[in-house]
Amino acid sequence: MRALILPDLEAISHKAAEIFLHLSKQYISSANRFVVALSGGTTLRRFYALLGSDIFRNAIEWSQIHLFWVDERCVPKEHEESNYKLAFDLLLSKVPLSASNIYRIRGEESPDRAASEYEKDMLGFFGTSGFPVFDLIILGMGEDGHTASLFPGSESIKEKTRLAMPVYMMKPKFNRVTLTLPVLNNALHIVFLVAGKSKAHIVKSVLVGDKESKQFPASLINLPNDNIQWLIDREAAGI
Ligand code: 6PG
């Protein structure tokens, strides 16, 4: 696990876009495709906007990019809370990525149906043997230490066989669908973007790996090749 502390959200967003560009070139030249899963939340907004901006848009071979989602809120794709809408407004609507390369979670369906349809899409794309291998997964982390839609104490954390599953939320107001830990921990690269002082306590606990960290789902993200890059702004690093 590598942790890079940068001055602010702009700097971590720019670094994440550089990593996306670098890995896209690496995997497109070796495998002729680059398969990525995107998260939602506010921290990632600037990163998506940068990928859709002149600086990066023209440098990325969008015809070889395949986009999936880490999680989704169970709302229609036009809804303000939709992770698909977030990526569409800031990125997809700005780049030449064909609809056939976009595999969104259909939040407008019931959580169970959306989860099983998404599993079918992944099995259709990756094949049926073993867990999907994403080239890159982009993650955020909540103030409670959740990542994707894996919340502290939730049953979904214990899932061992499913690829995606519904998450019924007590509060806030919408249910979710999330990739499961076996899929997240099967990625070739994971990049966390974390900003803001409200997360400093959790960041420290997770990076140090202290006793408390076990309750934070973000600490359960472990890759055999250790290719986890934490991009943290000074506030979230408690500096
Ligand atoms: C979501 C995300 C979630 C997010 C964290 C951080 O759908 O909400 O996928 O895991 O990354 O909640 O969100 P913020 O960046 O808004 O703090």
* Residues sharing a CB contact under 8 Å with residue 29, sequence separation 6 or more, in sequence order: none
pLDDT at 6 over 90: yes
Helix (H, G, I), strand (E, B) or coil at 10: helix
Which of 25-34, 82-91, 194-203, 224-233 bottoms out in mean pLDDT, i.e. has the lowest?
224-233
User: Taking 80 as the threshold, does the pLDDT of residue 5 lie above it?
Assistant: yes
Q: What is the pLDDT of residue 225?
A: 78
> How far, in Å, is the centroid of ligand 1 from the Cα of 80?
14
Residues 97-103, mean pLDDT to the nearest whole number:
98
Q: What is the mean pLDDT of the chain?
A: 96
Residue 173 has pLDDT above 80, yes or no: no
What does the radius of gyration of the chain's CA atoms come to, in whole angstroms?
A: 17
Q: Please, is 177 exposed, middle or buried when counting C-beta atoms within 10 Å of its C-beta (0-12, 13-18, 19+)? A: buried
Nearest CA to ligand 1 atom 7: 40
E strand or H helix at 67: strand 65-69
pLDDT of residue 16: 98
Q: What's the average model confidence in pLDDT over 167-194?
A: 91
Mutate to test the pocket of ligand 1, among 79, 83, 104, 147 (most ligand atoms within 8 A of CB): 147
| Distance in Å, CA 161 to ligand 1 centroid | 24
Distance 211 CA to ligand 1 centre (A): 24
**Closest approach atom of ligand 1 to CA 199:** 17
Average pLDDT over residues 164-183: 89
User: Which pLDDT score is estimated for 57?
Assistant: 97
Predicted local distance difference test score (pLDDT) of residue 28: 98
Q: Is the pLDDT of residue 224 over 90?
A: no
Is residue 86 within 8 Å of 46, Cβ to Cβ?
Answer: no
Around ligand 1, the residues with Cβ closer than 6 Å are: 39-43, 70-71, 83, 140-142, 146-148
- Ligand 1 center–CA 95 separation, angstroms: 23
Q: Distance, CA 43 to ligand 1 centroid (Å)?
A: 7
Helices marked H in the chain — which ranges?
Answer: 9-31, 45-51, 54-57, 83-90, 111-126, 181-184, 200-208
Bridge pairing between strands 34-38 and 65-69: parallel
Looking at residue 161, what is its pLDDT? 96
What pLDDT was estimated at residue 171?
A: 65
Closest Cα to atom 14 of ligand 1: 41
Distance of alpha carbon 131 from alpha carbon 182, whole angstroms: 7
Q: How many C-alpha atoms does 63 have within 13 Å on its Cβ side?
A: 2
Residue 169 has pLDDT above 80, yes or no: no
- Alpha carbon 159 to its chain centroid, in Å, reads 18
To test the pocket of ligand 1, the residue of 139, 146, 191 to mutate (highest count of ligand atoms within 8 Å of its CB) is: 146
- pLDDT bin (cut points 50, 70, 90) of residue 145 is very high
Give the mean pLDDT of 70-99: 97
**Per-residue pLDDT, 127:** 85
Predicted local distance difference test score (pLDDT) of residue 172: 61
pLDDT tier, 1 (very low <50, low <70, confident <90, very high otherwise): confident
Query: What average pLDDT does this structure show over 144-161?
Result: 95
Cβ neighbours around 45 below 10 Å, total: 17
Q: How far is the CA of 237 from the centre of ligand 1 (A)?
A: 18
- The predicted pLDDT at position 220 comes to 96
